[in-house]
Amino acid sequence: MAKMPIEIITVSERFQFLKELRGAIDYANDLQEDFFFELLAPAERAHFEFISFDKVRHSREVLQSMDTIRKQIKGFHPFLILVVESELETDNLANIFGSAHGKKGLALFTTSNVAVLIVPEDKMMAYFLYYLARYTLNFINPLHKGHLDQRGCVYDKKTLKTDLLKSMKNRALCSECESMLISAGTSMTINQFFALNKIFAASGEILQISDLIVKKNQIKLYPDSKKIEFEGRIEIKFEPLLLAIYLLFLHNEDGIKLDELDKPIKVQGEEHDGSNTKYEKHLKTVFSIHDKLIPRHKRDNEKNKYNFDMIEFALGPRRHEKFAKINRIIKDKFMDDLIAQQFLILGSRSEPKRIEAAKFIGCKEYVDQIIKNLITVKNARSYEEPFLGDHANNQPDNNQPVGHNSSTSPKTGKKH
Grade residue 192 by pLDDT with cuts at 50, 70 and 90: very high
What is the edge-to-edge ordering of all strands in the sheet holding 98-101? 35-39, 4-10, 80-84, 106-110, 98-101
Per 3-state DSSP, the chain is made up of helix, strand and coil in percentages (nearest 5) of 45, 15, 40
- Give the residue-averaged pLDDT of 17-22: 94
**Which comes out higher in pLDDT, residue 372 or 244?**
244
390 occurs within a structural domain: no
Length reported for the chain: 416
Residue 257 in domain: yes
Please check whether residue 126 lies inside any domain of the structure: yes
Q: What is the mean pLDDT of residues 154-162?
A: 88
Q: Are residues 70 and 207 in the same domain?
A: yes
pLDDT beyond 90 at 6: yes
**What is the model's pLDDT at position 409?**
41
**Same domain, residue pair 263 and 180:** no
CA distances from 244 to 310, 314, 329 (A): 12, 11, 14
Do 12 and 151 sit in the same domain of this protein? Answer: yes
CA dihedral 36, 42, 44, 48 (to 10 degrees): 100
246 with 113, same domain: the answer is: no
pLDDT of residue 415: 41
Instruction: Please tell me whether residues 206 and 295 are part of one structural domain.
Output: no
Note whether 56 and 160 are same-domain residues. Answer: yes
Q: Is residue 410 part of a domain?
A: no
Q: What is the pLDDT of residue 313?
A: 84
Q: What is d(CA 156, CA 265) in angstroms, rounded to the nearest whole number?
A: 67
224 Cβ partners below 8 Å, 6+ apart? 376, 378
295: three-class secondary structure by DSSP: coil
Mean pLDDT (whole number) for 390-411: 43
Q: Among residues 7, 5, 17, 94, which one has the least CA distance to residue 48?
A: 7
Distance of alpha carbon 51 from alpha carbon 63, whole angstroms? 10
| 291 and 169 part of one domain | no
Mean pLDDT of 253-276: 69
Residue of 125, 129, 137, 97 whose CA lies nearest to 113 = 97
pLDDT category of residue 41 using cuts at 50, 70 and 90: very high
Same domain, 151 and 15: yes
Give the model's pLDDT for residue 173. 94
**Span 281-300, mean pLDDT?**
74
Structurally, the chain folds into a number of domains equal to: 2
> Which carries the bigger pLDDT value, residue 362 or residue 255?
255
For residue range 74-97, list pLDDT tens digits in order: 899 999 999 999 899 999 888 999
pLDDT confidence of residue 178: 93
Looking at 336, 356, 372, which one is the last position of a domain? 372
Q: Are 80 and 107 in contact (CB under 8 A)?
A: yes
- What is the span of the domain harbouring residue 332? 234-372
Return the exposure string of 286-311: e unless at least 16 CB atoms fall within 10 Å of the residue's CB, then b: bbbbbbbbbeeeeeeeeeeeebbeeb
* Residue 229 is assigned to a structural domain of this protein: no
The more confidently predicted of residues 334 and 300 is 334
pTM of the entire predicted model: 0.56
Share of the chain above pLDDT 70, in %: 71
Q: Which pLDDT score is estimated for 382?
A: 27
